[in-house]
A and B are shown apart, each in its own frame.
Chain A
């Protein structure tokens, strides 16, 4: 009896055990996550960098290889969305709470606290901050998502298998994907997704709380953050139960429109030519240094900085990849591999660069050119970064409120999508997972976010994301092998699937 729904049961047990530990003793959970995190980063930090770089290189190689003409679907299938619709949804998939949170926070953080050999709060640290923001949010995350989504799309749409991570392992495991090895892979994917999403939800809740405190003077306490999580959880649970899929889609599209409006507003009202200068210059910097940055573990100095930022990001993206991968696979059906990779790699990256140039550039302009010190506020609470910047522009309350609404909607839509994905992953790939599973995962992921916040705040969230991502990195590397095997097999057999 236990073997039925085993992925759901085992994943739930593991996560409940952690949730239970967090409730029983937040300190113990914090210590545990720190211990795991320290060991992983010390021994496997280089592995994350190499893996992420490999995924990016493989993506580019596949795009221009003889496999590029293979369709992600049957040969007669056409893409379901126009280019514009497809690009918008790609960007929405990768964007979200994280981009709003870090759009200002990251450049300013690097500007204030660069690696040792760079003088803090200097021109050099400003250039460094933008370059590394581009690195952390640019091609590498999309390389990671592409490998995941390409594998899922190929095996489910072209090979007719269920849309599960374990399906991508059929070449290596054969029918064992329906047994213990397959279950383990799916459980690892669930585990990675839970903690990847929880990190985003936790960051979102923190920033909503900061925004409300900043704009409306509401309390800036952990309790209030937990209330925000509870309220938003209720909202997306209602949408899940009632089945407001169309409403969520509409909300998501409106949110993208609102985000675009915000960018345009900042571009016009903010230091326009400065922003363009930052964009162009950083693009050149990034292109020039991408190889070095990709593999720089800084073993001789600044290893702590690399641990704190780059390694965390690569782990976070890997933890997010099942969630983003499944979504991106679904919307990319009918496209060729080349079209898919080039579109998914460059277009969202470019839009992300624009976002960072606008918000990060505006923040650096305030700090360096206009002499408004925003670093002090950011040092005290990094989640206030965006709102502190808005204070220096017209209609700051309105713009801040728009940002809060953006965060709220992203929270709801991301959480709703996440419950669907988790439900699907624990229901043998069913596109209509049972409601009870979706509700369970919805409550679980919000609980994990809440408990980690209480246990150790932002740091605890980051540490657990890194821990959850390590086993899944191995899974992704093996996934590359399976994908190459299957593509090579197809070409060799010249077989119409």
Chain B
């Protein structure tokens, strides 16, 4: 399911940063890499960007010879919009973004491409944050994500995310299931709710057990984005898998759970819209 990826890269990004990304993504079964650069500055021309991209592709084709294909394109325009549009146009399996490390002030003024993409993408998107560190992967065949957190509300969005989760099973050591819910307004309703969640988590665990070596499940009460991030930090999770469901109203002002998770988390996020 993850054969084809759209990989946005910035102009003059060092090859030594691009190569580990490709290496990392091949472990998910990705074979087709569509490199995209969106020109958003007048300090260089489209022609320069295309020449530079050709050099990168040439190097990648030399280093990656096993069933991998590389193409590229250079566009001008709004970065996040172009990324999302191209992903649909080229029918990629997912988008892979490595956000730039920006300070909070710069983020407020300039904005965040990863947040913008998360907000509008129609394709699954992998946002690679601090973890997992891919600076030096010695043996790609043996590389596995230490732990993956699957945040579920048992809704349709989580169901969609679960298909991709099963696809990643070969690359995961440990799977953690997490349900975050709001507290019921009274103790009786809260107890009923807690029991219901526990039953559903057990069912989900049974369904996934044939596919994963180690699965643990947890249930928490609170605000989803905050709990997910805190939990991911507590368990030192590498990847958070999340389905996106757009809640009307508040998400327009406050941002969706996934937007808040991607901006606060140190773990990577795989979002399935």
Task: Indicate if the CB atoms of A174 and B183 lie closer than 8 Å.
Answer: yes
In the complex, which residues 466-497 of chain A have their Cβ closer than 8 Å to any Cβ of chain B? 482, 485-486, 489-490, 495, 497
Task: Indicate if the CB atoms of B183 and A170 lie closer than 8 Å.
Answer: yes
Task: Indicate if the CB atoms of B221 and A161 lie closer than 8 Å.
Answer: no
Bitwise, A164-176 to B at CB < 8 A (1) or not (0) is 0000001100110
Chain A residue at minimum C-beta to C-beta distance from B221:
A174
Task: Indicate if the CB atoms of B187 and A489 lie closer than 8 Å.
Answer: no
Task: Indicate if the CB atoms of B185 and A170 lie closer than 8 Å.
Answer: yes
- Interface presence of A160 (CB below 8 A): yes
With A174-B221, A489-B182 already in contact, the answer to whether A161 and B187 are too (CB < 8 A) is yes
| Alpha-carbon distance A489/B190, docked complex (angstroms) | 12
Task: Indicate if the CB atoms of B183 and A171 lie closer than 8 Å.
Answer: yes
| Alpha-carbon distance A198/B187, docked complex (angstroms) | 35
In the complex, which residues 279-295 of chain A have their Cβ closer than 8 Å to any Cβ of chain B? none
What residues of chain B lie closer than 8 Å to A489, measured between beta carbons?
Answer: 182, 184-185
- Interface presence of A320 (CB below 8 A): no
CB distance from A223 to the nearest CB of B (A): 52
Task: Indicate if the CB atoms of A490 and B185 lie closer than 8 Å.
Answer: yes
What residues of chain B lie closer than 8 Å to A174, measured between beta carbons?
Answer: 183, 190, 221
What residues of chain B lie closer than 8 Å to A497, measured between beta carbons?
Answer: 189
Task: Indicate if the CB atoms of B190 and A159 lie closer than 8 Å.
Answer: no
Bitwise, B169-208 to A at CB < 8 A (1) or not (0) is 0000000000000111111111000000000000000000
- Interface presence of A111 (CB below 8 A): no
Task: Indicate if the CB atoms of B188 and A160 lie closer than 8 Å.
Answer: yes
| Alpha-carbon distance A380/B183, docked complex (angstroms) | 57
Which bucket holds chain A's interface residue count? 10 to 19
CB distance from A78 to the nearest CB of B (A): 22
What residues of chain A lie closer than 8 Å to B190, measured between beta carbons?
Answer: 170, 174
- Interface presence of A55 (CB below 8 A): no
Which bucket holds chain B's interface residue count? 10 to 19
Chain A residue at minimum C-beta to C-beta distance from B222:
A174
- Interface presence of A137 (CB below 8 A): no
CB distance from A71 to the nearest CB of B (A): 15
Task: Indicate if the CB atoms of B185 and A155 lie closer than 8 Å.
Answer: yes
What residues of chain A lie closer than 8 Å to B187, measured between beta carbons?
Answer: 161, 170, 175
What residues of chain A lie closer than 8 Å to B221, measured between beta carbons?
Answer: 174
A159's contact among B182, B183, B185, by CB below 8 Å, is which? B185
| Alpha-carbon distance A486/B189, docked complex (angstroms) | 11
In the complex, which residues 150-185 of chain B have their Cβ closer than 8 Å to any Cβ of chain A? 182-185
| Alpha-carbon distance A175/B182, docked complex (angstroms) | 14
What residues of chain B lie closer than 8 Å to A161, measured between beta carbons?
Answer: 186-187
CB distance from B179 to the nearest CB of A (A): 16
Chain B residue at minimum C-beta to C-beta distance from A489:
B185
CB distance from B141 to the nearest CB of A (A): 47
What residues of chain A lie closer than 8 Å to B186, measured between beta carbons?
Answer: 155, 159-161, 170
Chain A residue at minimum C-beta to C-beta distance from B188:
A160
What residues of chain B lie closer than 8 Å to A485, measured between beta carbons?
Answer: 182, 185
| Alpha-carbon distance A174/B181, docked complex (angstroms) | 13
CB distance from A161 to the nearest CB of B (A): 6
Task: Indicate if the CB atoms of B185 and A486 lie closer than 8 Å.
Answer: yes
What residues of chain B lie closer than 8 Å to A155, measured between beta carbons?
Answer: 185-186
| Alpha-carbon distance A491/B242, docked complex (angstroms) | 26
What residues of chain B lie closer than 8 Å to A159, measured between beta carbons?
Answer: 185-186, 188-189
What residues of chain B lie closer than 8 Å to A495, measured between beta carbons?
Answer: 189
CB distance from B60 to the nearest CB of A (A): 50
| Alpha-carbon distance A161/B221, docked complex (angstroms) | 20
| Alpha-carbon distance A170/B184, docked complex (angstroms) | 8
| Alpha-carbon distance A155/B186, docked complex (angstroms) | 8
Chain B residue at minimum C-beta to C-beta distance from A483:
B185
CB distance from B154 to the nearest CB of A (A): 14
| Alpha-carbon distance A485/B190, docked complex (angstroms) | 14
What residues of chain B lie closer than 8 Å to A482, measured between beta carbons?
Answer: 185
CB distance from A108 to the nearest CB of B (A): 48
Task: Indicate if the CB atoms of B188 and A171 lie closer than 8 Å.
Answer: no
| Alpha-carbon distance A242/B185, docked complex (angstroms) | 39
| Alpha-carbon distance A449/B186, docked complex (angstroms) | 37
| Alpha-carbon distance A160/B190, docked complex (angstroms) | 13
What residues of chain A lie closer than 8 Å to B183, measured between beta carbons?
Answer: 170-171, 174
| Alpha-carbon distance A20/B169, docked complex (angstroms) | 71
Bitwise, A121-159 to B at CB < 8 A (1) or not (0) is 000000000000000000000000000000000010001
What residues of chain A lie closer than 8 Å to B188, measured between beta carbons?
Answer: 159-160
Task: Indicate if the CB atoms of B185 and A171 lie closer than 8 Å.
Answer: yes
| Alpha-carbon distance A12/B7, docked complex (angstroms) | 68
| Alpha-carbon distance A490/B186, docked complex (angstroms) | 11
CB distance from B216 to the nearest CB of A (A): 23
| Alpha-carbon distance A497/B221, docked complex (angstroms) | 21
CB distance from A404 to the nearest CB of B (A): 47
| Alpha-carbon distance A160/B186, docked complex (angstroms) | 8
What residues of chain A lie closer than 8 Å to B182, measured between beta carbons?
Answer: 485, 489
| Alpha-carbon distance A489/B193, docked complex (angstroms) | 12
CB distance from B181 to the nearest CB of A (A): 11
What residues of chain B lie closer than 8 Å to A175, measured between beta carbons?
Answer: 187
CB distance from B227 to the nearest CB of A (A): 14
Chain B residue at minimum C-beta to C-beta distance from A497:
B189
Chain B residue at minimum C-beta to C-beta distance from A482:
B185
| Alpha-carbon distance A495/B187, docked complex (angstroms) | 15
Bitwise, A61-73 to B at CB < 8 A (1) or not (0) is 0000000000000
Q: A174-B190, A489-B184, A495-B189 are in contact. List 18 more A-B contacts (CB 8 A).
A: A155-B186, A159-B186, A159-B188, A159-B189, A160-B186, A160-B188, A161-B186, A161-B187, A170-B183, A170-B185, A170-B186, A170-B190, A171-B183, A171-B184, A174-B221, A175-B187, A486-B185, A490-B185
Residues of A whose CB lies within 8 Å of any CB of B are 155, 159-161, 170-171, 174-175, 482, 485-486, 489-490, 495, 497
16 A-B pairs (CB sep. < 8 Å): A155-B186, A159-B186, A159-B188, A159-B189, A160-B188, A161-B186, A170-B187, A171-B183, A171-B184, A171-B185, A174-B190, A486-B185, A489-B182, A490-B185, A495-B189, A497-B189
Which 7 pairs between the two chains have the least Cβ-Cβ distance? A486-B185, A159-B186, A171-B185, A489-B185, A174-B183, A161-B186, A171-B183
